[in-house]
Structure formats: structure tokens, C-alpha cells
Amino acid sequence: MPLSPELRRLPGIASSFYRAGLLSELVTGMINGESGRSLIEDARKLMKDLERNSQVEISGLENIPKEGSSVIVFNHPNMDVLLPAMLEFLVKIYDLNGQQVKIAIVSELTLMSASLNQKTALPGSTQIMERFNRMYSKNIISVPTAKHRKDYLTGRTLAMRKLMRAVLNKEIVIISPEGHVEKNGAISPVETYHEGSGKLAILATKMGIPTVPMGVWEEGKTIQVVVGEPFYISTEEADQAAVEAMFQVAKCLPPELRGPFK
């Protein structure tokens, strides 16, 4: 059985952590069940290595409210693109506004890995992902996506509560309606979107909190991050809200990457 694209990228990502002097610390932290580690500080170290291969250009940061909360929705390219983009984005937001960011991250790399090694922390396993996410508990909220997991419903309910608590605490929340890797960097079909992002955007709208779209893609050796204008969800149907959010994200991307929103 061939490895998924994201599993194949694990060695390269691990090498970046190693060159940044973080790998041994993170392995020890996961073994010891560490939590509350600063993602911002580690991101600064890791960015220096990642910048050897690609530069990140961010535009539209003025669209993010400097005070109060916002829900940022983004598309989901592969980790070679998304990891440096997100790290640069988190650091920029912190340096500009001093705002903490909560980002929803899946607790399984693939549906296949969710079925394996649930009790053993092996590379690519659910255990590894959950320990990694827990280590950065200040910034990462772990979200189960495999429906066959026993804790699927309770885990997603808990994650949603944490996300809404972050909004109430005037933090920025980042979530992708896609929740999985795009094919060839283009937005995925609408039937694959997760309703949780729609529910979050609906609740934020009811509280007067804007949703902000963000497009991420690669052009040669440059990773582009474009933050669009804030908007409010116009529906109370979660699945339609997720589609509406991705439609706004599509506006931030080049036409050829807009998938169903061309």
C-alpha cells in the first residue's frame, strides 16, 4: 500500500526540526507528556531552516482586527507549503498585535494511520499527533476526524468548546473547512468540507465576530499568503456556512486553484 503524501513528508519535516535544534527536545517532550510549550518561540527557530527552501510573502494583515476576536478560515495545501506559511503567519500576528492564536489541527495524518497504533506512539500514529498537539496546548486544539474512533463525537465536541472559549477570550482562531490536503493545490470539492468550521463561523457571526478568509499557495520558491476582507456568515446551516467560507477563501487564490469556485 503506498504511503500518503503527508506521511512521505514526515522525514523532511523531522529533518527541519533537527537542523533547528528542536527534534530531541520535542521527542523528549512527547515522551514525558509535556504541555504548554511556546509555539511562537519554536516557530522562530524553525523558520530559519525552512527559509532555506522557500520564502513566505504575506499580504492583507491589515484585514485582521487588531483588537478582539476573529475566525480565520484557510485552504489546505500540502505540509511543505502550509507549515512555513502558518509558522510565519503566527509569528507575524504575535509580533504585530501581541495576539495569541488558536489553530485547529487534526489528530490523525490519514484515515489509515487513525486505524493503526492508537495505543503506541509510532511515527504517523494518532498517539504521536495527539502528544504533539498537546505539547503546544497554548496554541493547538486537536480535532479527531476519523469517524470510526471511539472518541470521535466527544473529541469533536470538546474541540469546539475550546475553540469557542478562545473566541470568547478575544483570541484569534484558525480553522480549515477542508481539513485535509488538497489535490494539486486546488480547493477540494464542497462535499468534503467539515461542518465544524461552519458551526464556528455561524456562532462567531451571532456574537458579532468576523470571519476572515486566507489563501495559501506556492509560486515557484515563494509561498504566498493572502488575507482577504472580513465577512459575516449569511446562513445558519453548518454545511452551507462551510461552503460560504471556502468561497471567500477562493477569492484570495489564483483562479486556477479555486476548484469548485472557478
CATH, residue 44:
3.40.1130
DSSP 231: B
Return the bridge partners of 102, or none: 173
**pLDDT for the residue 10:** 66
Residue 158, phi-psi category: left (phi > 0), alpha (psi -120 to 50), beta (remainder): alpha
Q: Is 234 exposed, middle or buried (0-12, 13-18, 19+ CB in 10 A)?
A: exposed
Res 112: pLDDT: 45
Domain range enclosing 71: 5-261
Sign (positive or negative) of CA dihedral 133, 208, 154, 150: negative
Question: What is the C-alpha to C-alpha distance for residues 57 and 55, in angstroms, rounded to an integer?
Answer: 7
Q: 35-52 burial by CB neighbour count: b if 16+ within 10 A, else e? A: eebebbebbbebbebbee
- What is the end-to-end Cα distance of the chain in Å, rounded? 34
Kindly report the number of other CB atoms within 10 A of residue 27's CB atom.
15
**Where are the strands (E) in the chain, listed by range?**
55-59, 70-74, 101-106, 140-143, 172-175, 211-219, 222-227
Q: Is 63 helix (H, G, I), strand (E, B) or coil?
A: helix
**Cα–Cα distance measured from residue 90 to residue 105, given in angstroms and rounded to the nearest whole number:** 14
pLDDT of residue 114: 45
Phi, psi for 190 (deg, rounded to 5): -65, -30
User: How far apart are the C-alpha atoms of 250 and 244, rounded to whole Å?
Assistant: 10
Q: Which residues of the chain have pLDDT under 70?
A: 1-10, 108-125, 146, 152
In the chain, how many domains are there?
1
Element (H, E) at 129: helix 126-135
Is residue 257 within 8 A of residue 81, CB to CB? The reply is no
Strand ranges for 60-151 from DSSP E: 70-74, 101-106, 140-143
